Chain A
Amino acid sequence: MFKKIAPGFLNRLDTYLLTKYPIIWISKVHYVLWFGLLLYLLSTAIGFLVPINLTSRADDGLWFVLLSVVSFIISWFWGYRYLIFNKEKNFGKLNFTDEYKNFFLVFFSIFVFVWFASPFVISYNTKMAHLYTDEEVIKDINTLNELEPYIPTSYYSYENTYDTLKKQTYFNINKTNNLNNYTPYRYLNDTINFPLVLSNYKLSLSYKPISDFEKVKSKVSLHISICKKYGVNPGINETEIAQNYIKAQKAGWMSVEEINFGNDYYKEEMRVAFNNLFEAKFGKLFIWDKDFLWGMFYVVFSLSLLLVLFKLNYWKQFLITIIVMGLYPLLAFIVSQILFSFSNTEQSFQWLIFLFFMVTAISLFVSSKKQTKFSPFINILNQVFFLIVIYMPMMVVYYLRRYTNLFHDFYSYNYGSASAKTELNMYGQKIEVYDYTYYLDQYLYTYWQNEYDFWFAIAKYLPIILFLIALPFMKKLFVKQLALPRRT
């Protein structure tokens, strides 16, 4: 199928790679690059073509999911193509560096598929960011903020109080609070980067109650037109709003029951719209978020591991391995509940997991020895080790912190209570007195947190590096088993 829709030069390249570089040919990375490029362009184009909805990210979220599903389907097709031509199962000539190339190519190809929806996110975001200029948006926010007191849709925007005798809430429209309703929260106080955004103080100075109906009405009209500009229909009647304002303005303090505020949900939509615009313009996309990128890395890495492992083993053994990996934690949980119910069941569960990992590690030594027959049991343990080895050190460090005092359990440390002494002051009141240990504990807390972060980082990065270095050896172990005669 690839060949039928690919250009001639790519098919010629395919034949060339087939005769010269089988590892690259098997990975079909040249098709991945070509079709990946086309799909990325398509993804980008969709991002530019999809209509922008400022008040809701549900539409582009839907597109994101849709594109991810498409990429998932294409990746399955690629995976099938990748797996059907198998150098190892056909006992081809092995080179030490093959597995580095193979793993990198698989990782890259999966990354291309997993990243498929990202150009859409980028282009959609770019389009949204360039809908209006920065100055225009800030000006509109300022205008809406300035107009806000003249659009009474809620008494919260004004000074208000609850009369306990009359059991009624009163408000005064001539004195406003909560002035920067429309400024996105994250940028509210960033006067260095956004000096043009009017601060609360400036807004409070700018509000002058008006008693002229027409002037108020024109302000309401302006408010409505700005809302409509951003795709939000307020659905309010400017005359009614202006009449409400004049009535309240003349009354001064008045009961909230004397006025019909109406619906102000559209204001929330406006806030969302400005927030989305600001995020698009000045925020960091979630796809560039460090945690998201690490998450992506582990997803791609794990999928690569699974594919490579599938390729190096009999499919039935692989399937059993996946089942074992799914069932063992369940079994460990049940065993820990039954056998260790008298002690800490959670801890014993973790120890059972570590025990299993140790057994898988030992299985490597067994399989590296001379074997004359294929051992399914050892093979499954080897596969489990292959799949979990990069994650286990992180778990070990995490559980060492949680269940031992190695990192002085800084997470559960409640500083402020341990070192505080309670004494009576000159008036006989109880006060808390701190000695130096209080401050020392805070320092120690930071120290042990840093220490934990350091070891966790080592447990995160080092296994990946070691694993990649050891890849050819692991492969050798698996292909050796692949070639061994079986009992039946």
Chain B
Amino acid sequence: MVENKFTQQLKESFASKDYSLFTRRCLDFTNDYKLPESLVFDIFELRKSFLSIIEVNPSQQELLATEAASVLEKLKNQDFILANSPDKISDCVFKATDITKQFHSGKSPFKLHPISFELKLGEITGVVGENGNGKTTLLRIISGQLATDTGNIEFPALGSFSNNWYEAKNKFAFIPQRIPKWHGTLLENLLFFATIHDITGEQNLKQIDYILFRLGLDKFRDLTWDQISSGYRMRFELAKMLLWRPHLLILDEPLANLDINAQQLFLQDLKFFAQSQSNPIAIILSSQQLHEIERIADNIIFIRQGKTIYNGKQVEFGIDRAVNSFEVAGNFTLQQLQHCLTEPMGYKIEDAGTAFIIACKVEVKWFEVLSILQKNEFELNYYRDISQSTRQLFHKDI
């Protein structure tokens, strides 16, 4: 078995009895690598068993242990050959240089100020910012719905078609915030989308089985638009797009209609899909779930009133910061906080509504602040180090 991050994750999930992750990653194996039919069959059966147990009695997941162990054992003896070697002309799928867009009409004219960025295969880019600040405008430009006023757009990964919007849209998948209504059954739509993207015949059916079981949508395959909830519509839309292995996936507020568990699962899956060995995808998404986005994003674009406040690697945000920031919430008041967090560490505290944001010198670590709060017996129910989070950018004073 090839030891890599991928297989390591498989072992860990098995060890921790996280059969949801285990079966999902096993299925990803079937999609990324050439495996014997019998093993593929076993993996699908395992996933089916998992999904049926989850539906009936989630507490009985342990029944899967033997089956999962058998699959893992078989996987150990495999030579992994990639199912599809990505034909890389360039890792860069989308390149924007100084693009701008201005809307003149309406009561409040809006301008998206010059912005340059690249979207690369295997990377996730999060677009964050307050409402009405240009996130959707930017995503619509990337998806080719909206023309720019100035600047240049290229699709280097498309080679000779680097300026052809039809070819680009053939490779780009856009899931808008409001998913347009589709007709027919879910399965019919999946088959259709796979076929029109040249995934035909047996391969079409296999790919659909993979995506339906992978995203836990199998039981919905014969349902129509009116028969599924908005959360599942989003998942279905994701299935529809991932099915044909796009180069770029654009998602506008995909978490809006998902419950908290579904959000976590959705984002985790996005990360896996982006880093697929056979079909890596560049993903760009906007969301208000800042911390969740930051957890999976490789790059962050923060927009405020059309201006790019931050555009770079997520891990590099705040690397040269002057202050550390912590977000706290609990059963205490601003005065109580101010009373215990005093100079000389330069604490500044702001009431951010449901939480307080504490700013202090960069030398102060998160556990030191936590320790002070603990000593003063503060009843904490929320604590987060936001020193390297764009969360700070939402707060103008700090």
Contact of A479 among B144, B166, B196, B197 (CB under 8 A): B166
The range of chain A's interface size is 20 to 34
Give the nearest-CB partner of B192 in chain A.
Answer: A85
Rounded to whole angstroms, the CA-CA distance of A479 and B168 in the bound complex is: 12
Complex interface: chain B residues within 8 A of A483 (CB): 144, 165-166, 168-169
Q: Is B147 a contact of A22 with CB atoms below 8 Å?
A: no
Judged by a CB distance under 8 angstroms, whether B324 is at the interface is: no
Judged by a CB distance under 8 angstroms, whether A185 is at the interface is: no
Complex interface: chain B residues within 8 A of A488 (CB): 103, 105, 146
Complex interface: chain A residues within 8 A of B84 (CB): none
How would residues 134 to 156 of chain B score, 1 for a CB under 8 Å from any chain A CB and 0 otherwise?
A: 00000001001111100000000
Contact of B166 among A18, A84, A91 (CB under 8 A): A91
Q: Is B191 a contact of A15 with CB atoms below 8 Å?
A: yes
Q: Is B191 a contact of A18 with CB atoms below 8 Å?
A: yes
Complex interface: chain A residues within 8 A of B166 (CB): 91, 94, 479-480, 482-483
Known: A85-B192, A370-B163. A484 touches B147 (CB 8 A): yes
Rounded to whole angstroms, the CA-CA distance of A198 and B219 in the bound complex is: 80
Distance in angstroms from B242 CB to nearest chain A CB is 15
Give the nearest-CB partner of A371 in chain B.
Answer: B165
Contact of A22 among B105, B168, B169, B195 (CB under 8 A): B195
Judged by a CB distance under 8 angstroms, whether B184 is at the interface is: yes
Complex interface: chain B residues within 8 A of A484 (CB): 144, 147, 165
Distance in angstroms from A27 CB to nearest chain B CB is 13
Known: A19-B205, A484-B165. A373 touches B147 (CB 8 A): yes
Interface residues of A in 370-419 (CB under 8 A from B): 370, 372-374
Complex interface: chain A residues within 8 A of B201 (CB): 19-20
Interface residues of B in 147-199 (CB under 8 A from A): 147-148, 163, 165-166, 168-170, 183-184, 188, 191-198
Contact of A374 among B147, B168, B191 (CB under 8 A): B147
Q: Is B197 a contact of A93 with CB atoms below 8 Å?
A: yes
Rounded to whole angstroms, the CA-CA distance of A442 and B207 in the bound complex is: 75
Known: A91-B166, A483-B169. A18 touches B146 (CB 8 A): no
Judged by a CB distance under 8 angstroms, whether B204 is at the interface is: yes
Give the nearest-CB partner of A14 in chain B.
Answer: B188
Q: Is A22 a contact of B145 with CB atoms below 8 Å?
A: no
Distance in angstroms from A10 CB to nearest chain B CB is 15
The main secondary structure of chain A at its interface with chain B is loop
Rounded to whole angstroms, the CA-CA distance of A19 and B148 in the bound complex is: 37
Distance in angstroms from A92 CB to nearest chain B CB is 3
Contact of A85 among B103, B148, B183, B200 (CB under 8 A): B183
Known: A480-B166, A483-B165. A19 touches B147 (CB 8 A): no
Complex interface: chain A residues within 8 A of B168 (CB): 483
Rounded to whole angstroms, the CA-CA distance of A487 and B148 in the bound complex is: 8
Complex interface: chain A residues within 8 A of B105 (CB): 488
Known: A18-B195, A484-B165, A488-B103. A84 touches B183 (CB 8 A): yes
Judged by a CB distance under 8 angstroms, whether A90 is at the interface is: yes
Most chain A beta-carbon neighbours within 10 Å: one of B148, B170, B194, B204: B170
Judged by a CB distance under 8 angstroms, whether A202 is at the interface is: no
The range of chain B's interface size is 20 to 34
Q: Is A487 a contact of B200 with CB atoms below 8 Å?
A: no
Rounded to whole angstroms, the CA-CA distance of A484 and B168 in the bound complex is: 10
Interface residues of A in 457-484 (CB under 8 A from B): 479-480, 482-484
Rounded to whole angstroms, the CA-CA distance of A264 and B169 in the bound complex is: 77
Judged by a CB distance under 8 angstroms, whether A252 is at the interface is: no
Distance in angstroms from A316 CB to nearest chain B CB is 15
Q: Is B103 a contact of A20 with CB atoms below 8 Å?
A: no
Judged by a CB distance under 8 angstroms, whether A130 is at the interface is: no
Rounded to whole angstroms, the CA-CA distance of A62 and B184 in the bound complex is: 37
The main secondary structure of chain B at its interface with chain A is helix
Rounded to whole angstroms, the CA-CA distance of A484 and B147 in the bound complex is: 8
Complex interface: chain B residues within 8 A of A90 (CB): 193, 196
How would residues 46 to 70 of chain A score, 1 for a CB under 8 Å from any chain B CB and 0 otherwise?
A: 0000000000000000000000000
Q: Is B165 a contact of A485 with CB atoms below 8 Å?
A: yes
Contact of B195 among A20, A91, A374, A482 (CB under 8 A): A20
Interface residues of B in 22-52 (CB under 8 A from A): none
Judged by a CB distance under 8 angstroms, whether A486 is at the interface is: yes
Give the nearest-CB partner of B191 in chain A.
Answer: A18
Complex interface: chain A residues within 8 A of B184 (CB): 84-85
Complex interface: chain B residues within 8 A of A92 (CB): 170, 195-197
Contact of A93 among B144, B192, B196, B204 (CB under 8 A): B196
Rounded to whole angstroms, the CA-CA distance of A91 and B248 in the bound complex is: 14
Rounded to whole angstroms, the CA-CA distance of A480 and B161 in the bound complex is: 12
Rounded to whole angstroms, the CA-CA distance of A374 and B168 in the bound complex is: 15
Complex interface: chain A residues within 8 A of B148 (CB): 485
How would residues 336 to 369 of chain B score, 1 for a CB under 8 Å from any chain A CB and 0 otherwise?
A: 0000000000000000000000000000000000
Rounded to whole angstroms, the CA-CA distance of A87 and B244 in the bound complex is: 14
Rounded to whole angstroms, the CA-CA distance of A25 and B191 in the bound complex is: 11
Q: Is A486 a contact of B146 with CB atoms below 8 Å?
A: yes
Rounded to whole angstroms, the CA-CA distance of A370 and B166 in the bound complex is: 13
Most chain A beta-carbon neighbours within 10 Å: one of B145, B188, B194: B188
Contact of A19 among B145, B163, B170, B195 (CB under 8 A): B195
Q: Is A91 a contact of B147 with CB atoms below 8 Å?
A: no
Q: Is B144 a contact of A372 with CB atoms below 8 Å?
A: no
Rounded to whole angstroms, the CA-CA distance of A50 and B193 in the bound complex is: 47
Complex interface: chain B residues within 8 A of A370 (CB): 163
Rounded to whole angstroms, the CA-CA distance of A84 and B146 in the bound complex is: 24
Most chain B beta-carbon neighbours within 10 Å: one of A20, A22, A373: A22
Q: Is A91 a contact of B141 with CB atoms below 8 Å?
A: no
Q: Is B147 a contact of A372 with CB atoms below 8 Å?
A: yes
Contact of B196 among A22, A84, A372, A487 (CB under 8 A): A22
Rounded to whole angstroms, the CA-CA distance of A374 and B197 in the bound complex is: 24
Q: Is A18 a contact of B188 with CB atoms below 8 Å?
A: yes
Most chain B beta-carbon neighbours within 10 Å: one of A85, A484, A487: A85
Rounded to whole angstroms, the CA-CA distance of A22 and B204 in the bound complex is: 12
Distance in angstroms from B241 CB to nearest chain A CB is 11
Known: A15-B191, A19-B204, A486-B147. A87 touches B165 (CB 8 A): no
Give the nearest-CB partner of B183 in chain A.
Answer: A84
Distance in angstroms from A368 CB to nearest chain B CB is 14
Give the nearest-CB partner of A485 in chain B.
Answer: B147
* 8 additional A-B residue pairs with CB within 8 Å, beyond A20-B200, A85-B192: A22-B192, A85-B184, A91-B170, A92-B196, A372-B147, A483-B169, A484-B144, A486-B147
A/B interface sample: 13 pairs, CB < 8 A: A19-B191, A19-B194, A85-B183, A85-B184, A87-B196, A92-B197, A93-B170, A373-B147, A482-B166, A484-B147, A485-B165, A486-B145, A486-B147
Q: Which residues of A contact B (CB under 8 A)?
A: 15, 18-20, 22, 25, 84-85, 87, 90-94, 370, 372-374, 479-480, 482-488
Q: Which residues of B contact A (CB under 8 A)?
A: 103, 105, 141, 144-148, 163, 165-166, 168-170, 183-184, 188, 191-198, 200-201, 204-205
The 9 closest A-B CB pairs, nearest first, are A92-B196, A485-B147, A483-B166, A91-B169, A483-B165, A373-B147, A22-B195, A84-B183, A19-B204
